[in-house]
Amino acid sequence: MKDWNNFLEEAKKHIPNSVECEIKMISAVNSLTRFANSHIHQNVEEEVSDVYLTIHKNGKTITLNSNITSIDSPNSFIEKALVQVDNSPDDQGWAGMPESESSFNGYKEVKSKDPEERADKVKKFIEVGKGFNAAGYCSTNVDHYFVWNTNGLESSDSTTSAFIDGIFRTDTSSGSSHRGATSLEDIDSEETGLEAFQLSKDSQNPEDIDPGKYEVVLGPEAVSTILVFLGVYGFNAKSKIEGTSPIQLDSQQFDEKLTLIDDPYRDKSLGFKIDASGAPKKTLEIVKDGVPKSLFHTRRTAKELKEENTFHELFGWGDSFGGIGTNLYLNPGSSTKEEMISDVKRGIYINEFWYCRVLDPITQVVTGLNRNGSFLIENGKITKPVGRLRFTQSFISSLGVGNVISVGSESRFADSEFGEGILNVPMLHLKDFNFTGGVSG
């Protein structure tokens, strides 16, 4: 807070009245404990304060960013931007800055966790593995965000998060598990370790099975990957502008069992309550009973599509990437994991996906692999572990009308290929999922 106040007060003295200006700072303490071969081998902590300066002058815009320790002075930083903005192209999409009425004060002093507290969580994870080889990490994060602009807005917010992610390996198998929360105290590392250990133990000596269409029961990490791809490439309003989004608002694109909500104000939600412009986020229904209701907008996309801003400008990315939802909750259903498995005639349980890549953004056809715990299900029972399979599947169709058989009754923060803590999801039982080959094809 002190660094921000000092920088801002000095910067204000050098901003010409003729320009629009926005100054942002992300200040973070990121602490990490890594373990491998069932022992802690690294404990690090990094404190960073990154400054973003945006100048809009005579229809042109420039944004500079730097770590605060690399800036000689606020004056020189601003002077550099003022020189560069004159050489920038015209900015036809400039949508202005939030007014002072949008100011939000969520700053709070938070102390980072001691390494001994993370080490205790790691110890409990490893101990349930009964001699299996464990690897992974435990992290704690304290993040502060500050925004000021020449319209008089001055916003701040603070957030904390903690994660444990680990894997147990044997010569022929691996099993992983992940947990996230606002506080390290809320993470049950024994439960996390037991889940990873059981998956590794049960998936030893996997057998190959033929590719084809299978019923699938998807763990939270697999579900999170599907939804985060849809969020980044589908519900992002910039994708709609570029003609690559398959999302059709107010149409029954998804199964009626699915409701997805963006809620930064939910108790123990991870992430900031303001977007990168400093304006407060809103609680939004993204999908209601299978019907898409909203895209993720920034100032620019809302202006271009003449729609209401949903305040999803991403921290550190500016508005060039478009809008991304980071406080997403898929509503749970009523089925337990055991009930889902018992309802499968012949299918596959998949703990998580890996190495997923979009083949066609319009249909959201994605290819990827399963890993860290996959099992064949026959007549309602898990019969054997299965090896690596390649899927080629439309993520839109996978969640389409009639393809979602049931939704899990429990949900949690899950990891995904775009990062952790973005989605809180249950398991899903899907009718058809298309596997096209083994690892090599």
pLDDT tens by residue, 157-178: 999 999 999 999 999 999 999 9
Taking Cα atoms as reference points, which of 24, 96, 23, 11 lies closest to residue 59? 96
Class of the CATH-defined domain 2-191 = alpha beta
Q: What is the pLDDT of residue 438?
A: 78
Residues 6 or more apart from 267 whose CB is under 8 A from it? none
Report the alpha-carbon distance of residue 252 to residue 394 in Å, rounded: 16
User: How many Cα atoms sit within 13 Å of 356 on the Cβ side?
Assistant: 29
What amino acid is encoded at 216 in this protein?
V
Q: What is the pLDDT of residue 317?
A: 61
pLDDT higher than 60, residue 362: yes
The alpha carbon of residue 196 and the mean position of all alpha carbons in its chain are separated, in whole angstroms, by: 21
pLDDT tens by residue, 374-412: 999 999 999 999 999 999 999 999 999 999 999 999 999
pLDDT higher than 90, residue 41: yes
* The token pair that represents 13 in the structure block: 């003295």
* The token pair that represents 292 in the structure block: 């898409």
Contact 415, 235 (CB under 8 A): no
pLDDT higher than 80, residue 319: no
Q: What is the pLDDT of residue 2?
A: 78
Contact 140, 44 (CB under 8 A): no
Banded model confidence at residue 132, pLDDT cuts 50, 70, 90: very high
Report the alpha-carbon distance of residue 166 to residue 178 in Å, rounded: 7
pLDDT higher than 70, residue 440: no
Q: What is the pLDDT of residue 366?
A: 97
How many helices and strands (H and E) does the chain possess? 9, 20
Q: What SS3 state is found at 38?
A: coil
Report the alpha-carbon distance of residue 296 to residue 236 in Å, rounded: 5
Angle (CA) 194-196-199 rounded to 5° is 105
User: How many Cα atoms sit within 13 Å of 367 on the Cβ side?
Assistant: 10
Q: What is the chain's mean pLDDT, rounded? A: 95
> What are the residue ranges of CATH 3.30.2290.10 in the chain?
2-191
pLDDT higher than 80, residue 194: yes
pLDDT tens by residue, 42-71: 999 999 999 999 999 999 999 999 999 999
Banded model confidence at residue 130, pLDDT cuts 50, 70, 90: confident
What amino acid is encoded at 193 in this protein?
G
Report the alpha-carbon distance of residue 347 to residue 209 in Å, rounded: 11
pLDDT tens by residue, 84-98: 999 999 999 999 999
The DSSP annotation for 255-298 comes to: -TT--EEE-TTSTT--S-SB-TTSPBP--EEEEETTEE---B--
Taking Cα atoms as reference points, which of 67, 423, 138, 18 lies closest to residue 258? 423
pLDDT tens by residue, 214-243: 999 999 999 999 999 999 999 999 999 999
Mean pLDDT of 168-192: 97
Phi, psi dihedrals of residue 58, rounded to the nearest 5°: 50, 45
398 against 3, higher pLDDT? 398
Whole-structure pTM value: 0.95
Q: Tell me which DSSP letter residue 59 carries.
A: T
* The token pair that represents 359 in the structure block: 């083949």
User: What is the percentage of the chain residues whose pLDDT exceeds 90?
Assistant: 94
Mean pLDDT of 8-22: 95
